[in-house]
Every structure is written in C-alpha cells, then in structure tokens.
A and B are shown apart, each in its own frame.
Chain A
Amino acid sequence: MSTGKHRLKFEKRVTFAGWQAALISGLAIAFALALFSLIFILARINPLTAYQKMLAYAFTNRYGLPLTINRFIFLLLCTYAFIIPFRAGLWNIGMTGQFYMGALSTFAVVFAFGGKASRHADLSPELVIPLMLLAAAVGGAAFGAIAGFLRGRFNVNEIVVTMMLNSIASWLVAQMIKEGGPFMNPGGRSESFELPYAVYPPLIQEIPFTIFLALGITALLSFVLARTRIGYQIRAYGHSPQAAQYAGVSPFKIPFLVFLLGGALAGLAAYHYFAAVPGVYKISRNYGYFGDLAFYGIICGLISLGDPVAAIPVALLFGGLSIGGRFIQGELHMNFGVDYALLGVLMISLVAFQFFFRYKIVWIKTGESAHVGIHH
C-alpha cells in the first residue's frame, strides 16, 4: 500500500511490551463498540445514549453494580477455565459443560444431605458449604479432564470433544431438573429445588464471598504460571509440544492437567452463580443462558492474552457490558439478545485485531531511495 511519498508496510513483531498489548486490546474493544453502534443505529437509538445508559447502569447504579460484580466473578472464573489450557496451546470451549457439571455436583451434595425436602432443612453450613465448593470443582474438573485425557493420550481434537461435552452436559441438566428428574423442584417447576436457607453462603456488602475465591485464584494462577516448574512446563508445551517433550515435559500430563484445572474453575463458577449469588440459590430454568455466557470467557481470555491479572479489568468490563446490554434491551425496547450480539461483535473484532499482535505498521518514506523499505 502506498500514498505519495510514503509506503505502508507490515513488519513482523518480534516482541512487544505490556503496554503495547494493552493498547491493541483496548483498540480491539473500542473498534467492537464502534461497530456495535450500527446495531443501535439500526434500532433507531443514539449509540452514545445507549452506551452511557449501559455503563451507568452497570457501574454506578445501586441495582446494576451488584449484578455486574456477580457477573464479573463468574466471567473471571470462566476466563481462567479458558486461559489455563490456552497457555498450553489448547482450546477449552467446554467451560459451558464444565459449568453445568459443577452445578449438578453442587446440588448433588445438598441433595445427599436431604436438602431437597425443605428450605428449612437443618444442614450444617460449616460442613455442607465447603463440600459444595469441593464438589463444584471436582465435577467441573472431572468433566474437563475427559477432553484433556483424550487429547493427551490419543491426540483427539479438544475443540470438537469439548463442544460435544457441552451438549451432553446440557441435556444431563435437563434430565436432572425437568420432567420428574431427581433434582426437580418439588413445586413441579422445571428448575432445580431451592437451596435450604442454612447453606446460603455469607455476603459481604451484598457481594458473595466467592469474589475472594476468584481473586485468590488470580494471584495463585499468576504465580504458578510465571514462577513454578509446572507453569513453565505449561508454557513450554503451549509454545511447542514437540520441543517441550524433548525438554522432558510429559505430553500426556500437561493436556490432562490444564483441562482438569480449567474444568475445576468452570465448576466453581457454577457454585458461584447457582449457590452464592443472592436471589438465585437454584439451578434456574434458564441455565442455558448462563452456559452461553460462559463463552465470554473465551473472549476475555484472548483479549487478556492469557494473562490472569489482565483478565480482571477485561472480565469486569465485559461483565458490565453484558449486564448493561441486558438492561438497555428492556429500557430501550430492543430485541432480545443485545448481550449475545455484543459477544459476537467483540469476538470478531478481536479476531481481526489479532493481526496487530503479530505485525506492526510502519510508514516508510519512498522516493529518495528504493531500498529503504527493507527492514528485516
């Protein structure tokens, strides 16, 4: 490409600094939001008004902000479910299924303690809540491990497997909570039984305690990925499985482990949404909506380039945008699915911007000398 005396050239990046990555990610998000304005314009809504309303509701409104924070905790965990395998070069698009299995495992614990019978069932929170958390993690991990095992042991494509597992888990939830399933609501509704009051977990300023869990995982994950032997092995495997194998990294252990851990975190996201968020305390009828939202974890993970700390602002922003999107959908009488559409536009914008993570644009003066353009 050339204009007058200048020529546009793409140069392969060798390295880039943290601020450059942040800038490109920021631009990708800004580009997506600009593109998304079209949706508002087509709906005859001023995009600036729409964004202002979205952000105001999500981040400053008394009712909106707690929703945003709850969504943020959920997204952060789903993002980590994606990031851990991603750092090993593997694609976990099964956070949805792992999330469902985490949900079923959580409720299985309460069911086993007889919590289905009555909301006033006398369960010991000190015992049951930790068991629920553990079950959520184990359920998600076991389900994630299927994909990791198949990948590590038989080199089966993890994308197709995790997607198939998503559908399987989704029907399993239906089996458990609908049409007389064991977890079905005693009132006959197509949702799970509600948790007994005794196992409502503590809230801190209306915020579930799971926020500490999520932030603790951030710290732990950053440390493990950057500073430990296993973190190094995960990164080495992500860089080149063959080279890692020469360096003594097990080609089975890493895929298995990253899916196990990723699945555990997606499972915890289910504990968070169905057992810790005020006002829910059940596997809701629209569980599929939360399963779909888990896919936001893919985008958060990609935009934050697999960095657990960078994922925090991204998950917070996307949490806010998805809550704000749902809000203005009602407020401005838009079609259902504003938050879904936003998910799609953000994703494709990010994919297009991927290019800039690998190349930089340089303007080269032409005219004086013919060979200036050669920069290798």
Chain B
Amino acid sequence: MWEFIIRSLEASTIFIFAALGELIDQRSGVLNVGVEGVMLFGATLGFIAAQSTHSYWLGFLVGIAIGGLLGLLHGFLSITLGGDQVVNGMGLWILGFGLTTYIGNPYTGPLGMERIPTFLGLSPFFYLGIVLVAVTWFLLSRTSLGLRIRAVGENPAVAEVSGIHVTKTRYLCVTVGGMLMGLAGAIYALDYNPVWNYNFLGGWGFIALALVFFSMWNPVILLGGSLLYGTLWQLSLNPQLLLPGIMSRYLWRMVPFAATIGVLLLMATRWFRLRWGAAKPEALGKPYAKE
C-alpha cells in the first residue's frame, strides 16, 4: 500500500511538470496540443544522453533543452508565422512519435544506471514539482510578469497598447512551457520508469493537456488534478492492490482515459459553466498580428 502511494505520487509528478508547462503556454494564449510529442523527445533524448554519458544531470539537461527548442519551434510556427496552432501542435506530436520511435529503438531496454536517490522515500522531483506549482501560482497571480502573461493571453491587442511586448512574452512562455514538458518526459524515462520502449508514453501528454482544461488554468487546481490522475494511473496499472478481481487488467488500463472523457463532459455541462464561469484565456489558440 505504501509502495502504491509512493508510485502514485511519482506518476503525478510527471503530470504536474507536463501540465504546468502547458498551462504556462495557454495562459499566454498559445495552445500546444503536441505535449505528448515534446515529452517523447525529452524522454528519448534524455534517456540516450544519460545512458551514453552515465550522467543523470546531462540527461535531464538534454531533456529540458530539447523541450525548450521544440517549444520555440512551436512558438515560431504559431507566433511568428501565425499558423493554425492545432496543426502545429499535431505536427510536434507526430514528429515526436515518429522520430523518437526510430532514434530510440537501438536503446530499447533498461537504462542500466543506479536509481536516482529518493528523499524522504520519494523522488526528489515530486518536491520540485510542488515548489514549481507554488512558484507558478505566485508568478502568474502576484507579479507584474504574471499580469503581463495573463494580459497577453486574454487580449493581446489591448496588452500591446498598454506597452506589453506580446511576441516576446509569448515566446518566453512557450519556451519555458516546452522546457517543462521536455523535463516531464525526462523524469518519466530516467526516474519513474527507466526503460525505453517504443511509444512508451501512450497518452500521458494528452492527459496532461486535458488536465490543463480541468484546472481552469489555475496551477493549484492543476496540482490536485495531477495527484488524482497519478493515483488513477497507478491504480490502472496495479488494480489488484486496492480493488482485486473486479476487471481484467486490460479493462483497468482504459479507466484513466474513460475518466478523462467523463471529466471533460462534466465540465462542458451548463451547470458547470454557470457555476464555475469561463476561466479560459480569451485569446487562446488565436494568432495575433500586430496592426
């Protein structure tokens, strides 16, 4: 049972990082549906870097760097070229899915390094994730940078008039967001489950994307959602620990995905919208061209 709780928190950690990255993107008005692709890149290249240099530090750095680069690429396509953000995100996802399958294949198998030491029984990234949630919350709601980011996400034209550099702010957000997604992938492949296998994420990135919708763009609710999903995910992997003998293991694996659809549906109801209002950044997904 203790083991189950630990693993759940560690799974949550990955959702926290990836979804936080996406949340920062979206607060600035940029929708990146390619979280999964960025995570796959961060995971695969981080895994390869760590294995070939025997350095965890390098592995994580590479994961963060490739995430940042892909965030920049998405930013370039979406902000500078002003393309359809959904198409651009899909591009990142399929690029990540296709290319990492090929690049990572020779490295299929376990990482073969001593596990990252735990702190008070938990992966250190869990604590880092909690700190990051607090920092992001503080930054977004209590600082002038956060105000600028939110302004750009709500109404870029008005933000521009009041002296905020929309393009710069958005580039900052997509790069930092991408770095967090890449790091989330690297945490998966180096710490949570240090074994490389083809398309091993199998939907974590898309769930992270949904978690941002669930959070109503609030980092603290995002933390709650991530903890819930980490637990649900872990339960779907080891149902016999809590609820033995109810469903086969394959049916259990469907549960987190079905639950995601259920929550999305709940949030789309009239009751929910009236009760909780529209927290969605007004300019989300819309390219902005300076007049």
Contact = CB atoms under 8 A, between A and B. Distances in A.
A348 B88 CA distance: 8
Given A335-B105, A354-B83, A343 B98 contact: yes
B95 interface: yes
A225 interface: no
A358 B96 CA distance: 25
Given A160-B213, A337-B105, A348-B92, 14 more contacts: A91-B86, A93-B90, A155-B268, A165-B261, A178-B250, A292-B199, A295-B94, A302-B87, A344-B94, A344-B96, A347-B91, A351-B77, A352-B77, A355-B81
A343 B91 CA distance: 10
Contacts of B253: 167, 171, 174
Nearest to B91: A351
A343 B94 contact: yes
Give 9 closest A-B pairs by Cβ, nearest first: A344-B98, A351-B91, A337-B102, A341-B102, A154-B268, A175-B250, A340-B101, A347-B94, A164-B257
Contact of A345 (B95, B198, B206): B95
B268 A156 contact: yes
A93 B90 CA distance: 9
Given A160-B213, A161-B261, A337-B102, A351 B83 contact: yes
Contact of A338 (B102, B258, B264, B265): B102
Given A160-B209, A179-B248, A172 B254 contact: yes
A265 interface: no
Looking at A156, A178, A342, A358, the one whose CB has the most chain B CB atoms below 10 A away is A156
A159 interface: yes
Interface in B21-58: 33
A150 interface: yes
A302 B258 CA distance: 29
A167 B77 CA distance: 29
A145 to B, nearest CB: 14
Contacts of B87: 302, 351, 354
B117 interface: no
Contacts of A355: 81, 83
27 contacts: A39-B102, A91-B90, A93-B90, A159-B33, A159-B86, A160-B209, A161-B261, A167-B202, A167-B254, A171-B250, A174-B253, A175-B250, A292-B199, A295-B94, A298-B90, A335-B102, A335-B105, A335-B106, A337-B101, A340-B98, A340-B101, A341-B98, A341-B103, A343-B94, A343-B97, A344-B99, A347-B94
Given A157-B213, A351-B88, A351-B91, A172 B250 contact: yes
B269 A154 contact: yes
B110 interface: no
A212 interface: no
B258 A164 contact: yes
Interface in A273-301: 292, 295, 298-299
B84 A174 contact: no
A224 interface: no
B198 to A, nearest CB: 7
Contacts of A354: 77, 81, 83-84, 87
A344 B97 contact: yes
Contacts of A337: 98, 101-102, 105, 198
Nearest to B104: A337
B207 to A, nearest CB: 8
B203 interface: yes
Interface string A93-129: 1000000000000000000000000000000000000
Interface in B258-274: 258, 260-261, 264-265, 268-269
A350 interface: yes
B265 A150 contact: yes
Nearest to A169: B254
Contacts of B33: 159
A302 B88 CA distance: 12
Given A156-B268, A337-B198, A351-B91, A171 B251 contact: yes
Given A91-B90, A351-B87, A163 B203 contact: yes
Nearest to A329: B102
Nearest to A348: B95
A157 B102 CA distance: 30
B102 A160 contact: no
Contacts of B268: 150, 154-156
B221 interface: no
A298 B94 contact: yes
A179 B249 CA distance: 10
Interface string A350-366: 11101100100000000
Interface string B207-249: 1011001000000000000000000000000000000000010
Interface in B57-111: 77, 81, 83-84, 86-88, 90-92, 94-99, 101-103, 105-106
B263 to A, nearest CB: 10
A344 B264 contact: no
Contacts of A342: 98
